[in-house]
């Protein structure tokens, strides 16, 4: 069983790797073509539809739709699967058209709510943000329908093409940023138009494959369909749960708009570097296991369900813990290599570096959330993650309130580095969120601890420490990196990554960790007799 998961995860991981590479190229183009103060306007207007994307596409909708369509494929006829897809596509499509229209009309109000600091700035950020939001908001329609098509394809074990849609979007954005932006009166507006065009391209990529499967005949509005009602019931709590995380981001954005000009840009670019390992590995892994977990639950295979989740958690720890450590240690070299050119100054490098160091603490939490949440959603339990998300949001909001109050009391809202505190509070909230999800699965005896799990964590920590020492020894000073040429930076950073990774796995091997320990196998009986259970 693990071989199939490894193969599917590898397929999604490789295509997602290509997506993240082109995404980094896109962000490099942004940083080099547009000053940080102007780029933060695009960061805002791109973030708003993406928040809704995570809510309707990657969040509540996917978490409700994939288990239901997997169940239909397992227990129903082909005609019933077709009826499900037609009803969901038509109903979701019309709802999203209405939401997109409201967003375009209410753009000034949305900008004022999400970035109140723009209204008081002298660089014209507010009217520019309104104009650009009217281009980017309809993206939620295109990307949500893309998610629906991708969910159907994933349920048929077709993972590569849906993952490649992000590559297409990145390529479209690079074309608009590098070649088409000079033809716009305000070049940054070209990025917003690129989002609109990219959304159409993403959806168009999946339609032919969806039609070839024969599961789509004629999308129609059908709120009375049994599966549509069930998905809606499942989405209700999931929307609340997903909203908690998105509300946390909105609150951070509101605060960032009040900070030093460029703060939103520095947070965005740091987050994009964290998203690279998150997307290449953690999201790919979560994408692969959700249909399998859903099928295992439908077949009442509790042992296989637990084994799959346990395997995913161990694999996340193996890969993401050292990745988090590396991001913290070489945040400066990574930022210089990726972004330092043309409009992106040495000061921008320093501000992005400290944001990246703060975000590195969040990577493990976000990754664990990605693989633990499917343990609930595959069982069509959307209420459990909602309760956890609400507690995590409450913690994050409390921390943000403390930060804002302290900065305002000391007159430091515009101080250098204040933005990094927002990244840190989100990281703390993510770690608590993941911890509560894990404990919930353990208490319900859905997830059984794998024998030797604690010993494995100790070995991973020791290997990560050895890697961190190597990176510190060989990375030099930030000024060394600023003085180096682009090619020197690339070669140097490549040596750090390869050398650090090789040392990490060599130490693990020396400590007795073997690939066989990461096979998917039932752990119920073993866990019950293990002293670590």
pLDDT tens per residue across span 151-210: 888 778 787 888 889 899 999 999 999 999 989 989 999 999 999 999 999 999 999 998
Q: How far is it, in rounded angstroms, from Cα 18 to Cα 11?
A: 11
Does residue 7 sit within a domain? no
Which carries the bigger pLDDT value, residue 79 or residue 286?
Answer: 79
pTM of the shown model: 0.81
Residue 86: give the domain boundaries: 34-236
User: How far lies 78's CA from each of 109, 153, 468, in Å?
Assistant: 46, 14, 53
Does residue 311 sit within a domain? no
Looking at the chain, the whole-number percentage of residues with pLDDT higher than 90 is 51
**Average pLDDT of the residues in 306-325:** 92
Tell me if 302 sits within 8 A of 520, measured CB to CB. no
Q: Specify the number of domains making up the chain.
A: 1
Does residue 471 sit within a domain? no
Q: Is the pLDDT of residue 283 over 80?
A: no
Q: How far is it, in rounded angstroms, from Cα 529 to Cα 205?
A: 50
Does residue 211 sit within a domain? yes
Residue 156 neighbours by CB under 8 Å, 6+ apart = 73, 213
Q: How far is it, in rounded angstroms, from Cα 453 to Cα 455?
A: 5
Does residue 87 sit within a domain? yes
Q: How far is it, in rounded angstroms, from Cα 472 to Cα 195?
A: 39
Does residue 54 sit within a domain? yes
Does residue 53 sit within a domain? yes
**Average pLDDT of the residues in 259-269:** 92
Start-to-end CA distance of the chain, whole Å, equals 24
**Average pLDDT of the residues in 264-284:** 84
Tell me if 283 sits within 8 A of 368, measured CB to CB. no
Does residue 107 sit within a domain? yes
Residue 286 neighbours by CB under 8 Å, 6+ apart = 312, 370, 371, 373, 374
Q: Mean pLDDT score of the chain, rounded to an integer? A: 87
């Amino acid at each position: 069983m693990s071989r199939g998961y490894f193969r599917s995860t590898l397929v999604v991981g490789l295509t997602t790797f290509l997506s993240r590479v082109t995404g980094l190229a896109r962000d490099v183009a942004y940083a080099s073509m547009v000053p940080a103060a102007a780029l933060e306007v695009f960061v805002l207007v791109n973030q708003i539809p993406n928040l809704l994307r995570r809510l309707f596409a990657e969040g509540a909708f996917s978490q409700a739709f994939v288990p239901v369509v997997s169940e239909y494929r397992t227990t129903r006829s082909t005609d019933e699967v077709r009826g499900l897809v037609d009803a969901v596509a038509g109903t979701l499509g019309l709802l999203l058209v209405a939401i997109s229209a409201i967003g375009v009309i209410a753009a000034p109000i949305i900008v004022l709510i999400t970035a109140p600091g723009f209204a008081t700035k002298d660089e014209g950020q507010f009217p520019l943000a309104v104009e650009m939001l009217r281009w980017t908001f309809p993206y939620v329609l295109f990307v949500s329908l893309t998610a629906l098509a991708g969910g159907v394809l994933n349920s048929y074990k077709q993972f590569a093409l849906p993952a490649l849609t992000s590559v297409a979007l990145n390529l479209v954005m690079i074309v608009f940023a590098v070649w088409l932006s000079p033809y716009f009166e305000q070049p940054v507006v070209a990025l917003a138009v690129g989002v609109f065009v990219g959304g159409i391209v993403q959806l168009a990529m999946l339609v032919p494959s969806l039609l070839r499967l024969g599961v789509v005949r004629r999308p129609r509005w059908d709120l009375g369909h049994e599966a549509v009602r069930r998905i809606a019931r499942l989405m209700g709590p999931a929307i609340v749960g997903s909203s908690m995380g998105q509300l946390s981001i909105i609150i951070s954005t509101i605060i960032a708009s009040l900070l030093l000009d460029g703060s939103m840009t520095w947070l965005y670019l740091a987050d994009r570097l964290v998203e690279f390992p998150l997307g290449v590995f953690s999201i790919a892994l979560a994408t692969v296991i959700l249909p399998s977990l859903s099928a295992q639950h439908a077949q009442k295979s509790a042992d296989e369900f637990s084994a799959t989740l346990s395997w995913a958690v161990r694999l996340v720890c193996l890969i993401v813990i050292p990745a988090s450590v590396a991001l913290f240690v070489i945040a400066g070299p990574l930022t210089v290599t990726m972004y330092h050119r043309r409009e992106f100054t040495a000061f921008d490098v320093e501000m992005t570096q400290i944001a990246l160091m703060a975000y590195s603490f969040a990577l493990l939490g976000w990754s664990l959330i990605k693989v633990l949440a499917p343990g609930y959603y595959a069982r069509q339990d959307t209420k459990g993650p909602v309760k956890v998300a609400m507690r995590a949001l409450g913690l994050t909001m409390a921390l943000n309130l403390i930060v804002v109050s302290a900065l305002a009391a000391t007159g430091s809202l515009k101080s250098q580095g204040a933005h990094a505190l927002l990244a840190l509070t989100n990281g703390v909230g993510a770690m608590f969120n993941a911890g509560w999800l894990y404990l919930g699965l353990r208490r319900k005896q859905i997830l059984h601890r794998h024998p030797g799990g604690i010993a494995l964590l100790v070995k991973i920590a020791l290997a990560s420490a050895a890697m961190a020492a190597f990176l510190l020894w060989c990375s030099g000073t930030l000024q060394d990196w600023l003085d180096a040429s682009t090619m020197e930076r690339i070669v140097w950073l490549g040596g750090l990554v390869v050398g650090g990774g090789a040392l990490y796995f060599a130490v693990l091997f020396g400590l007795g960790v073997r690939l066989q320990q990461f096979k998917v196998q039932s752990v119920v009986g073993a866990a019950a007799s293990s002293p670590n259970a």
